[in-house]
Structures are given as C-alpha cells and as structure tokens.
A and B are shown apart, each in its own frame.
Chain A
Amino acid sequence: MTEQMQSEQGQTVVDSAKADKTIIHVEAMHKWYGSFHVLKNLNLDVAQGERIVICGPSGSGKSTFIRCINRLEEHQQGKIVVDGVELTDDVRHIDSVRKEVGMVFQHFNLFPHMTVLENCCVAPIWVRKTPRKEAEATAMEYLKRVKIPDQANKYPGQLSGGQQQRVAIARALCMKPKIMLFDEPTSALDPEMIKEVLDTMIELASSGMTMLCVTHEMGFAKTVADRVIFMDGGEIVESAPPHDFFDNPQEPRTQQFLKQILHH
C-alpha cells in the first residue's frame, strides 16, 4: 500500500519534469454531485501561455470544470495536474496549486470589509509572505494596469460593477499566478461595463498569461482565444481554434449552439 503511494508520488515528480510545455493536464476526469454525473471523461492539455475559451449551454458543467482546476470542487475520478502538481486530497498540493492559479468570479466576490488596496494585498502578504510595503507597491502597479489606481482606498461597495470586476482581476494578478481562470466575468455586468473588463482581459492575454475563460462573449473568443472548447451535458464536445470553431464547426450540437447564440 505504502509502496504504491510512493510510486504515485514518483509519478508526480515525472509529471513536473515534463511540465515545461503543458501547464494543465486533465485526464479521464469525472465528477458527480451525489448521483448526478456532471463531468464525464474530460481530457484537456493546456500549454503554457495558451488562451482557452470555454462555452456551452447553461448547466453544461463549465463552471464546475474550471472550479475543479483550483480544487474549489473535487473530482472523483481521473487526474488533474496543474503546473506539475497533481490535485489530490493532500492539502499541501491544493495550497501550492492555488498559489499559482488566480480566479475571477462572475459576482466579483471582493471582500467588502477591506479597501481595494487591502483586497489586493491580503493574499500576497499572508500566503506569499511578501512584506507589506512591497505588496502594496505591486498592488498599485496592477491597479494601474486595470486603470483604477485612484480607487485604491475605496471600499468595493463604493465602486461600479465594472470597476469591481477589474479590482477582482488585479487582486488575482497580485499573487503573480501562472494561470488565470475566469468564470463568466462579464455576465453580471451592464453592457456598458462589459467592454472595460474585456479590454483588461485582452491586455492580460497579450502579456502571455495562461488563461481559461468561461464566457459567452464570442467576440472576445474570436480575437483572443487560441482554442475554443464547447461543452454540453458535462462533456467536451468540440475543441478547435476559433476560426475553425466558428466557421466550420464539426459537431451538430456545436452547430446548433452557435446558431442560437449568434442569432441573438
């Protein structure tokens, strides 16, 4: 039993050795909520610097999938390796993966009792052990990058939705993650605020960040994505570069989905 565990550990080391290109490796992954089979046999390799857009109808398991990548949800079968570390029950593995993976949520989830600056500094200070001065300097840098340095001392409740989401992006970036996950970052926003958030994301994409975005913004997918993944019923139905995906979808389910969203 112990030997077997050790050989599994050995496996992890081998994985990290060849991780210079593949930063996320998902293999034969399944997940159930009770008896409900939400994710069925997912396989995906994401290269460093790759930008992936995930789309699909509501309830298809997109959120669940990307939340498995930083272990906000637990998978029950198969394998997820992030930056050379396999996600298991081992808390140390989970912690080290979460350090390298930033996440932006649909509803921002900023900490309302902290100022914008404190929101950005809390994780660098307590997780990365960055000195406060340095953390604040970094935070200001990222707040400049998302174009709201002047809001640093306000509370999230005093900002507009678009500004809050940009703070959320800056907060995640302050941890200097290798991977960024976005779960419908614009779908809780008013139309006029969507652009400012998308611009921030486009800027981030051009800086070489590895990104996984669940979004229905097809314009964003076309301009930024290296690959578009279509999920339905808990499966990856199709995965292709954007021009193939939009102009020449192979699967009937993809064709139907595209017809629906593009006609709106």
Chain B
Amino acid sequence: MSESMAPPKRAFAPVQWMRDNLFNTWYNILLTVVVVYMIGTSIGPLLNWLFLDATFTGADPKDCVGDGACWLFINQRLNFFMYGFYPDAQQWRVDIMFFLLAVAFVPQFIERFPARRWLGIFGMTGLPIIGYILIPGGWFGLEEVQSNKWGGLMLTLILAYVGIIGSLPLGIILALGRRSEMPVIRGFCVIFIEVWRAVPLITVLFMASVMLPLFLPEGMNFEKLLRALIGITLWQSAYMAEVIRGGLQAIPRGQYEAGSALGLGYWRKMRLIILPQALTLVIPGIVNTFIGLFMDTTLVLIIGLFDILGTVQSTITDPAWQNVAIEGYVFVAFCFWVFCFGMSRYSQNLERKLDTGHKT
C-alpha cells in the first residue's frame, strides 16, 4: 500500500489570475479597460466628497464650509436619527437594547465564539421579552414612553426585528398547512397566503392604521405601532410561507417515508427531518425576504411613524441646514447597507456551515 500524501497546494498567482479572468478575450480586455477608467475617474472625487473635503465636527451649520459632505449635520442630529422623540433621560433603555442586540448577533459572525449558539437563541427569545419590558416601560418603576415617541433607527430595528422573528415561525406553520392533507387547514392557509400576498404592504399599513379602527369595537383601540407590527408580520409571513414551501417541495419523498417508517409522528418528522433540510435549502430565499422586509419598513412613513428614513427626511428640510439632503440619504443608505449586508454575510456563513456534502 502506498503512503497517502497531502493534496498539492494551489498557489495564488495574481498575474496569472488577471490573465485568465480579466484579459482572456478581446471583449474582456475592452471591458476591463472601460471599467478601470470609470473607477479611476470617479473614485477620486468621491473620496474627496466623502472624506477629504468633508466637515465632521463643529458647533453649528455655518461650520460646513468645504466642498465636501457636511457630516456635521448627521453628527448633530444623530440623537434624533437614533431614538426619534424618545426622551433623553430614558435613552439608556434603548442603548441597553442596542447593546444586547449586538451581543446576541455579532458573535454569529465569529466562528468558534464561545456559547455562540446560546447567544443566538437568546437573541430570538430573551431579547424580545426584555425589549417588551424595557422600551415601552410603564412597569417595574420604569417611566412609560408611548410608542408615538419612538423613532429613528430604533423604530426601524423594532419593525424589522418583530417582522422577522414573527414571520419565520408563522411562515413555517402556513407552509406546512398549505401542504397538509386536511382540506380545511389547507384551504385556510391557501386563502390566507394568497390574500396577503396579493396586497401591497403600503395598503396593509394604511388599512391597519386607518381602516382597522373603524371595524374594531369601541374601546379596543390599540396603538398604531402595534397595528403596523401585526400588519407587517402577517403580510411578511405570507411571503415567508411561499419561500419555505419551495424548500419543502424540494425534499424527496423518501425522507418523509424514512421518517414515518422509523415511527416518527408528523410534528417530530417535520421538526427533526424535513424542516432542517428544507430551511437550509431556502436560506438565500429567507434572507432575501428579510432584507426586503428591512427596506419595506420605511413605508411606515405614510402612517405617520418616523423610522430612520422618516427622521432624516424631516430634518433635511430644516431651514437652518442648507443642502444636506444628499448627506442625509447617504447616511440612511449606509445604515441600511450595514444591516442588510450583515444579514447576507450571515446567511452565506450559515449555508457553508450547514453543507454536509450531500448531493441529490
């Protein structure tokens, strides 16, 4: 028997790589040249505007004199963009939630972080409970802060987080229900999904805030934010259900049969055998839906809630500041990008980790 050897190392040669990928055909050469030219001419002015000529600090709008961006504007109004009208003295409560959110989810990007899994579970279960106690207050000696004072990034995160955490389990239930053999359950799920999916979110929000109170009995008038959260979650769960159903359909019948033959009942079979595989398959679709939801939360503007976009938009018209619209929107775009890019990276990590080399 011959010795087993280590696999040959593949050296990374940049020149070779460029020749193979950038300059291998005449049209690739052309494209490379054009793209390099365009990057070259635009990167300088962009960097100048973003950083070199930009104003970061100062006392008031007059300090923004350079040709570059006026980040002073963001700097000065950051409090409003983060917390909306949440009272200054109570903002530590929101800070705790920001901190816990980071504690729960940032380690998810770090391979081999101790207790990473438990932190993740905390992020899905403990975190919303703490948030539910801390942010509205009104108990345990905490001063009550009504939801019409909430705003900015904090509100955006609440909307997205609740939508995500709520729609995933609901979506799973709906997807299973849609494939159920029981006609009543299946019918209900089909109708639910098709009705919600056929309505744009903006309509859902509008109905939740304006029309729902007309139908609800007197006195049962719960807050606008809560109505928006319920609307977003139900609407999102219909989409989620369809994504997950796609995953369920991709699982071969043999997996169901093997589960049944071992004596696993319906729920165990789903939880232990089918869903882990189906959800893994549709991680890209699920995260795509989450990202979509994250963006769509900005629509709450039309029912008078001030999320991060809303707070920024309402300040750029402030006559004290001249021409800060671009800075405002760049800032909003950057905030959204950080979270959405984070989700996307996380999903890629997860996909790699869950890949067990099975090919069917």
Query: A99–B15 Cα gap in the complex (Å)?
Result: 63
- Confirm or deny: B257 has a beta carbon within 8 angstroms of a beta carbon on chain A: yes
A156 at the interface (CB under 8 A from B): yes
A238 to chain B, nearest CB (A): 28
Q: List residues of chain A with CB within 8 A of the CB of B322.
A: none
Chain A interface size, as a band, is: 20 to 34
Interface SS of chain B: helix, strand, loop or mixed? helix
B356: contacting residue among A102, A105, A113, CB under 8 A? A113
Determine whether the beta carbon of B356 is less than 8 Å from that of A127: no
**Residues in B whose Cβ lies below 8 Å from that of A110:** 258
Contact flags A218-245 to B (C-beta < 8 A → 1, else 0): 0000000000000000000000000000
> How many B residues, CB 8 Å from partner?
23
Q: Is A215 an interface residue (CB 8 A)?
A: no
Cβ of B277 and Cβ of A112 under 8 Å apart? Answer: yes
Cross-interface CB contact of A127 among B263, B273, B280, B358, cutoff 8 Å: B263
Contact B356 A98 (CB under 8 A): no
Q: B254–A157 contact, CB under 8 A?
A: no
Most chain B CB neighbours (cut-off 10 Å) among A99, A111, A123:
A111
Give the docked Cα–Cα distance between A209 and B270 (Å): 30
A155 to B359, CA, bound (A): 12
Q: In chain A between 68 and 117, which residues have their CB closer than 8 angstroms to a CB of chain B? A: 70, 72, 91, 95, 98-99, 101-103, 105, 107, 109-113
Contact with A along B215-246 (1 / 0, CB 8 A): 00000000000000000000000000000000
A120→B263 CA distance, assembly (Å): 13
**Cα distance A127–B276 in the bound complex, in angstroms:** 18
Q: Give the residues in chain B near A175, CB-CB below 8 Å.
A: 262-263
Q: Bound complex: CA of A107 vs CA of B261, how far in Å?
A: 14
Distance A171 CA – B280 CA, assembled complex (angstroms): 23
Residues of A within 8 A of B273 (CB): 111, 122
Q: Does residue B265 face the partner (Cβ distance < 8 Å to A)?
A: yes
Given A113-B354, A126-B272, A95-B263 contact (CB < 8 Å):
yes
Bound-state Cα–Cα, A101 to B261, Å: 8
In the assembled complex, which residues on chain A have CB atoms less than 8 Å from the CB atom of B268? 126-127
A residues within 8 A CB of B252? 109
* A212 neighbours in B (Cβ, 8 Å): none
Taking a contact as CB atoms under 8 Å apart, the answer to whether A158 and B357 are in contact is: yes
**Chain A nearest Cβ from B359, distance in angstroms:** 7
**Residue pair A109, B264 in contact (C-beta under 8 Å):** no
B257 touches A113 (CB 8 A): no
The interface residues of chain A lying within 8 Å CB-to-CB of B360 are 112
Interface SS, A side: mixed
A113–B254 touching, CB < 8 Å: no
Are the C-beta atoms of B261 and A72 separated by less than 8 Å? yes
A155 with B263: CB separation less than 8 A: no
**Inter-chain contact B263/A123, CB cutoff 8 Å:** yes
Contacts A111-B255, A113-B356: A99 and B277 contacting too (C-beta < 8 A)?
A: no
A39 at the A/B interface (Cβ < 8 Å)?
Answer: no
Interface string of A158-200 (1 = CB under 8 A from B): 1000000000000110010000000000000000000000000
CB distance from A211 to the nearest CB of B (A): 15
Q: List B contacts of A91 (CB < 8 A).
A: 265
- From A96, which residue of chain B is reached at the shortest CB distance? B263
Q: Is B317 part of the contact surface with A, judged by Cβ < 8 Å?
A: no
Q: When the two chains form their complex, are residues B264 and A123 in contact, meaning their CB atoms are under 8 A apart?
A: yes
Does B260 count as interface, using CB distance less than 8 angstroms?
A: yes
Considering only CB atoms, which chain B residue lies closest to A123 in the complex? B262
* Pairs of residues from A and B, 5 with the lowest C-beta to C-beta distance, nearest first: A112-B358, A157-B358, A109-B258, A123-B262, A157-B357
- Using A111-B273, A127-B262, A171-B262 as known contacts, list a sample of 20 further A-B pairs with CB atoms less than 8 Å apart, ordered by residue number in A: A72-B257, A95-B263, A99-B263, A103-B258, A109-B252, A109-B257, A112-B358, A113-B276, A113-B277, A113-B280, A122-B272, A123-B262, A123-B263, A123-B264, A127-B263, A156-B356, A156-B358, A157-B356, A157-B358, A172-B261
Q: List 14 A-B contacts (CB under 8 A).
A: A91-B265, A101-B261, A105-B254, A110-B258, A112-B356, A122-B262, A122-B272, A123-B264, A126-B268, A127-B262, A127-B268, A157-B358, A157-B359, A175-B262
